Structure 1
């Protein structure tokens, strides 16, 4: 399914709070924070000229977040960044002065962090980031996971020392339970979704994602004309769309939000003209995007700056994974998890449909930017779908898998 943005706020200016959170100055501060991370390295930008030619477009570039900070996902940029910011702010309140990232390892700041507990709900990747951030600063983490999160993903979070809490139901059920328990125990919720009265911390999480956009803009030979980004609650899509809108203004690229058909909360919100919760049905293979209620902050941004919304089916996501794993001659292989290649799935679906091509203005001059939002964060599931272990696919491009 495909629809153009017809919201009354479409093409209006971002809310000042969102403009401040996602602007160039904020993005520069995120990158400065990253410079203090021991394992920080810029992730690759991969060109796929063979696939671009097959799809009848000018260029495709994929930002490969499967290499980010040892966590294999763009989420590494958000949760840990928010945790660090919150610790520095609390230390500032306790010490009565501004505390800089350069002081993170000092005894005074570590003592503050040790008295803090951060909590969140997760499908897997955000929880890993929050847990890693807590471990870095010496805080405690409690991570809530719903019944659909695999044991492999739970173990990947637990290795950072987090306390794991299983919750019956969906991701949205785990969000509510995490918020309830945190309020009861005085913990700090570090969520990547927002709700009425809870916006600032999710905005910090989204702010962290702007680093990948700044890196990509420096590496791209020309600015993109089109962007397809997958969405769960909408955080990554809103962060990218919002930053690009602020960077390019009226000349910004055409931005399309891609939802799983089985969890299309942003698509249905766009159709309704307001945030809506969709019914929970059959699970989607796009596990990291299986969210049934949009983030209110993300919706506030996307209602203004997204140009279109679309859905992709299970087979589309699998086809994108396999396309990236077994590329056309001359294109490098990319290890993309079940949710990682969904932006590409949207592009492939759009390019094959004359009506969508026309609506988006996709043609032989188009320069498309995509994000591989995750690598093989569940290696067993990846091999089951692709037919090869992630290390074998990575070896085709001379890469190494970092888990």
Structure 2
């Protein structure tokens, strides 16, 4: 199911939005993160999948593989660390900390009693815990009932204190806020709410690195004409989509590609926002195998960027996500096998759904000349679940990937 956004525009990037998030600030964040030891200094690869493109009847499919961004296994490694660094710089201006020194742990003694807290579905909390450990401050992470023990252990491995609640993601966000108020801790969340926008902005700004790397990898001609026609982005609260789309919108201006946002049908908050014209709540159970996208409330800050630039919103079911995971893992003669977690494949699953549906694909302008970009946002961040869903372990897929690469 998809809808066209009635409020979309194809105008130059507005100055009012540039004051909040910009290419310049995103590039500054990228430079600060470049020396964090947990990040791959080379960035992440951008693969073309010609056999999949042929199967789906389009000219090209490009996938950015975030599974190798860092040992953390997801794109969240770009958001939480930069938000934590900027928070510390604002909180202790008199210390004149240098961003690189913070991430290298050179001021751990001074920050030993500084505590940050966040709710998470898994990846954001893991990235925040790792960043806090590198910097030397304390970290508390609130987990809701649907976060697996496997993900909890991955977060705790970076020294975070875990708080469990029985509710859903949105209730964990409320719990984090109440604990912060009670103890004087600082919330470092990737979703905004009333009176809380600065840190989520910094998180989204970090995601601009993804767009910058794509542009650099594909730059040709004047560099201002996009080499792809459509970009499919994951939903969730909207942070990733806003961070990437805003960068590409500012860079390409009126010539920007078509943006399509995809989310689980049980967590359709962005879809509902498009229907109502304002940041809205999901109508489903907010319980999806796509754990990182199982969010019940749209980030109001992210919506400020998504409402004017996302052309289409759509929802998919869990089975479609699993099918996309398996297709990427399988690879083919010309397509490299890829490890893509359950929340990584929403964009591809959305495209596959549209093509299978026939008429809707044409309505979105997808045809044999379309060049599609999507971002595989995570690897097997829950290895046990990945193996259950795909039918083989991620290490098996990586072994086949190695063989494929050697042969190609």
* Residues 1:251 and 2:255 are matched in the alignment: yes
Please tell me whether the aligned partners of residues 263 and 315 of structure 2 are also in contact (alpha carbons under 8 angstroms).
yes
Q: CA deviation at 1:12?
A: 6.0
CA deviation string 1:207-254 (max 9, x = no partner): 111111111111126621100011111100111111111110110000
Aligned equivalent of 2:2: 2
Which moves more between the two structures, 117-126 or 104-113? 104-113
Is 1:394 the counterpart of 2:398? The answer is: yes
Q: Pairwise mapping of residues 356-367 of structure 1 onto structure 2 (< 5 A)?
A: 356-367=360-371
Once residues 184 and 17 of structure 1 are traced to their aligned partners in structure 2, the CA distance between those partners, rounded to angstroms, is 35
CA distance in 1, matches of 2:368, 2:106: 58
Question: Residue in 2 aligned with 1:325?
Answer: 329
Residue in structure 2 matched with residue 153 of structure 1 by the alignment: 151
In the TM superposition, residue 196 of structure 1 has moved relative to its aligned partner by: 1.2
> Could you say which residue in structure 2 is the equivalent of 1:120?
118
Kindly report which structure 2 residues correspond to 1:129-278, keeping only aligned pairs within 5 A, or say none: 129-220=127-218, 223-278=227-282
SS in 1 for 2:179: helix
Match of 2:28 in 1: 29
Per the alignment, do residues 108 and 385 of structure 1 end up closer, same or farther by CA in structure 2, a change over 3 Å counting?
A: closer
Cα distance change on mapping 1:363 and 1:280 into 2, 3 Å: closer
Q: Is the 8 A contact 1:343 1:370 kept in 2?
A: yes
Deviation (angstroms), 1:34: 1.8
Q: Contact (CA 8 Å) 2:10, 2:256: kept in 1 or not?
A: no
Instruction: Tell me which moved more, 55-64 or 344-353.
Output: 344-353
The residue correspondences of 1:360-375 to structure 2 (distance < 5 A) are 360-375=364-379
The equivalent residue for 2:91 is 90
Match of 1:355 in 2: 359
* Residue 304 (structure 1) aligns with: 308
State the Cα distance separating 1:105 from its structure 2 match.
6.6
**Contact (CA 8 Å) 2:121, 2:292: kept in 1 or not?**
yes
Q: How many residues align?
A: 395
Deviations 1:313-361 (Å, cap 9, x if unpaired)?
Answer: 1111011000001123210011011111111001111222332222221
For structure 2, the 5+ residue unaligned runs are 221-226, 404-408
Q: Matches of 1:181 and 1:397 in 2, distance apart?
A: 44
SS in 1 for 2:62: strand
Question: What is the alpha-carbon distance in structure 1 between the residues aligned to residue 13 and residue 174 of structure 2?
Answer: 28
- CA drift at 1:185: 1.1
**Cα distance in 1 between the residues matched to 2:119 and 2:14:** 27
Indicate yes or no: 2:343 matched with 1:339: yes
Q: In the TM superposition, what is the alpha-carbon distance from 1:71 to its structure 2 partner? A: 0.5
1:289-300 paired onto structure 2 within 5 Å = 289-300=293-304
Alpha-carbon distance between aligned partners in 2 of 1:178 and 1:322, rounded to the nearest angstrom: 35
Deviations 1:245-275 (A, max 9, x none): 1110110000000010111110011111112
User: 1:12-23 counterparts in 2 under 5 A?
Assistant: 16=15, 18-23=17-22
CA distance in 2, matches of 1:371, 1:107: 31
Q: Distance in 2 between matches of 1:191 and 1:53?
A: 40
Q: 1:15 to 1:373 in 2, by over 3 A?
A: same
Change (3 A) 1:22 1:390: same
| Change over 3 Å in CA distance of 1:55–1:182 after alignment to 2 | same
Residues 105/171 of structure 1: CA separation in 2 closer, same or farther (3 Å cut): closer
Structure 2 CA distance, aligned partners of 1:108 and 1:323? 44
Shift of residue 106, structure 1, vs aligned partner: 8.4
* 1:139-177 Cα shifts (integer Å, max 9, x gaps): 000000001000000000001100000011100000011
Residue segments in structure 1 that go unaligned for 5+ positions in a row: none
